Amino acid sequence: MAWTTTARLHFPFQQIISNREKHRNSQQASVKASLSVSSRTSGRISPPHPLKLEISPLFQKINGLCENGQLSRALDLVQDSLNESNPACSREAISVLLQACGRSQDLDIGRKIHVLVSSSSSLTGDVILNTRLITMYSMCGSPLDARLVFDGLQGRNLFQWNALISGYTRNELWNEAVSVFCGLLSSEAGFMPDNFTLPCVMKACGGLLAVEAGRAVHGIAVKLGLPLDVYVNNALISMYGKCGLVDEATRVFHTMLERNLVSWNTLICAFSENGYSEDCFDVLGELIGEGLVPDDATLVTILPVCAIEGRFEMGNAVHGLAVKLSLNQELRVNNALIDTYTKCGCLSEAQLLFEKSLQRNVVCWNTMISGYARNGDVITTFGLLRRMQMEGIKANAVTILNVLPACLNPSELQGLKELHGYAFRNDFHSDDLVANALIAAYAKCSSPSYADRVFHRFSNKTVSSRNAIIGGYAQNGDPKKAIDMFLEMSLSGLDPDWFSIGSLLLACARLKLLRHGKAVHGFILRNGLSMDSFIDISLLSLYIQCGRTSSAREVFDRMEERNLVSWNAMISGYSQNGWPNEALELFREMQRLGFKPPEIATMSALTSCAQLSALRLGKEAHCFALKMGLCDDAFVCSSIIDMYAKCGCIEQSRAFFNGLKGRISGIGYVADTGCVLHELEEEEEKVEVLRGHSEKLAIAFGLMRVGGRATIRVWKNLRMCGDCHGAAKLVSKVAEREIVVRDNKRFHHFKDGLCSCGDYW
């Protein structure tokens, strides 16, 4: 991505610098003068000369109103001073008022001030006020207005260039920031960047992940002989961290002659963003060891690491540090602590912290709601949403997105509909992210018709929204509609991305449309689309489902990075398609390469042993499952039972099931000997064969191993026979257990003597 972005932007830094080298001597004095007046206080742009304030009573009154947020009254006083022909006082007051508008993001008052300045002949060309206007519009989230002010200036100075670059960076318009920087370098006025320009541009390069452009900016600073002060170095650490170059970020940090707390925080952030959790904690310890006191930014940077890693103890220690430093009631620290506890599964601690919060904004509520939703507590999630409304906190689009994870189960379809209605009434349904999330949620709730309605009522049909509906159709067994939607997407002029193609391949796999799948594969190769892991897995699934194991292996061997999912898919594919030896060999290779086979790969290995009747290999796989703690998984247990049954070792499970048989016979079970495929004459022999069916033995094993009222889950790679189906229904009743059996056709949910399939499968 970084290379693509960089190539598209065509950063001409080195060429511009080379062309300007001959002017360097004449510009050195100008650069030094600019540097000497460049200031960093409060992160604002300093004027080219200090304001000579006459501290008049009127100015003091206007300044006081600005500090108290009474901007309308301050504006009235400024207008009065203009009418009294007091431009000096007005200029100073307007400058203060513009800064206050930026801080409070009051765009309406800011525009009225702009009209005042433009209508006054004594103020319209004022350098300081025009710079303040650019900054004000940027801080109010209106970079277009800032650009219009900049473009209307007759003569621009370095501070106005810096104000515009900083404004674009503030609004995350990274391309525009870099483009203006290029304009600065090539301007006829001959301005050179200073130590305020560079951090802004470096931040933009980090936002674009444009590492080569960032290095070029670094090189410009060195070539111009600009001192790399603490602010520039902090920006360098941040830029290299965002681009994934942690070693270079660390190198910059260690070469710094001067470091402040921001330097340490930025390094922690670089480690955090790149998954170096232990290094984050090491740097925090070193920071404290150096005698520095962590601030709220330090804690907010380190807490997400605890959350992602599930490090409850470390998160609790950071909480203690926050209390010790009296930072625990800082709003963003409090929100980060709540988020950490919820992601560690400690909802009671998070709730306690939430209730003790002195101030709760929408972010705090969203964090708490998200925690309960992620942990599957539907009732509390919706309860918090209602309570949030009752306390007068207005929900936003993020609130809807945070509640949705609680509604991703078919049993919660009604709750999803209610949430959809709430989003519609509050006009959140037109938000791209909300609409796409609703489509995906309805698909996961097995309600593709509702997903279809949301999609067709949504006016702004983007690639993401089409991906959501394509994925929904593919997930819900309607691959034909998924293919039709993909074709419609292509005809509409939208370019499919990796998710579109992967979903289409999964649809082809479900329908076993090998020819169509190969056509998609060809499309990928012809268009030079980079192979994404999702596309690779989808191709594996296609060829495996269509019985083309050799083609699947070619895809597998060609993959640059193999993860657990790809290993699982290939081993499972060999097992499903009758290649047990190859499945076992790949299972061994997976272990040799340092991967730890998870449940699915272990189940496939056990199934392969059963197919080969290889008891010795099966015992090895069983030992591996024991060693890795996989035997508590019901699916692995059923595979072990199936393997031993097919290898002739079934006495223990059979004895248990025989005891169970007496109980189910008492409520009507009669062996269905018509399900016996062996040519046997005696009825008792047929009954004996039925007792050894693997799903019966697996259910018996599950009842022995899984305590309480936990659901018994059995995975079977053949169709479930009628006798086992009838027996499972009755077992669910006498044992008072829910039993789920997955055969090669569907899921069977047995409960209270009934099956979800209605005895049709």
pLDDT over threshold 60, residue 462: yes
**Tell me, what's the pLDDT at 675?**
64
pLDDT over threshold 50, residue 514: yes
**Tell me, what's the pLDDT at 176?**
95
**Tell me, what's the pLDDT at 87?**
58
For residues 383 and 592, the model is more confident at 383
- Report the chain's mean pLDDT, rounded to a whole number: 81
Q: Which amino acid is at 350?
A: A
- Alpha-carbon gap, residue 397 to 429, rounded angstroms: 9
**Tell me, what's the pLDDT at 364?**
93
**Tell me, what's the pLDDT at 267?**
96
- Alpha-carbon gap, residue 628 to 591, rounded angstroms: 12
Least confident of 91-95, 251-255, 289-293: 91-95
**Tell me, what's the pLDDT at 70?**
87
pLDDT band at 522 (very low <50, low <70, confident <90, very high): confident
pLDDT over threshold 90, residue 353: yes
For residues 22 and 334, the model is more confident at 334
Contact 568, 537 (CB under 8 A): no
Q: What is the mean pLDDT of the segment spanning 42-62?
A: 56
pLDDT over threshold 90, residue 523: no
Tell me the pLDDT tens digit for each residue of 85-100: 665 567 788 888 999 9
**Tell me, what's the pLDDT at 33?**
36
pLDDT over threshold 60, residue 154: yes
pLDDT over threshold 80, residue 144: yes
Q: What is the mean pLDDT of the segment spanning 227-250?
A: 92
pLDDT over threshold 90, residue 761: no
Residues 6 or more apart in contact with residue 666 via CB below 8 angstroms: none
**Tell me, what's the pLDDT at 584?**
86
Tell me the pLDDT tens digit for each residue of 360-384: 899 999 999 999 998 888 899 999 9
**Tell me, what's the pLDDT at 607?**
81
Q: What is the mean pLDDT of the segment spanning 722-731?
A: 85
Q: Between β-strands 739-742 and 747-751, what pairing exists: parallel, antiparallel or unpaired?
A: antiparallel
Nearest in space to 219 (alpha carbons), one of 6, 2, 17: 17
Residues 6 or more apart in contact with residue 105 via CB below 8 angstroms: 139, 140, 141
Nearest in space to 724 (alpha carbons), one of 645, 606, 610, 609: 645
Q: What is the DSSP letter of 677?
A: -
**Tell me, what's the pLDDT at 391?**
92
pLDDT over threshold 50, residue 41: no
- Give phi and psi for 561, each to the nearest 5: -130, 120
User: What is the H or E stretch that residue 739 is in?
Assistant: strand 739-742
**Tell me, what's the pLDDT at 79?**
81
**Tell me, what's the pLDDT at 140?**
95
pLDDT band at 283 (very low <50, low <70, confident <90, very high): very high
**Tell me, what's the pLDDT at 85?**
60
**Tell me, what's the pLDDT at 695?**
80
**Tell me, what's the pLDDT at 166?**
95
Task: Please list the alpha-helical segments (H only) found in 628-719.
Answer: 634-646, 651-665, 683-691, 694-705
Structure tokens at 270: 């670089």
- Alpha-carbon gap, residue 436 to 464, rounded angstroms: 7
Least confident of 20-29, 391-400, 652-661: 20-29
**Long-range CB contacts (< 8 A, 24+ apart) of 324-331?**
325/293, 325/294, 327/295, 327/296, 327/299, 329/357, 329/358, 329/359, 330/296, 331/359, 331/361, 331/363, 331/364
Tell me the pLDDT tens digit for each residue of 528-537: 765 677 888 8
**Tell me, what's the pLDDT at 345?**
85
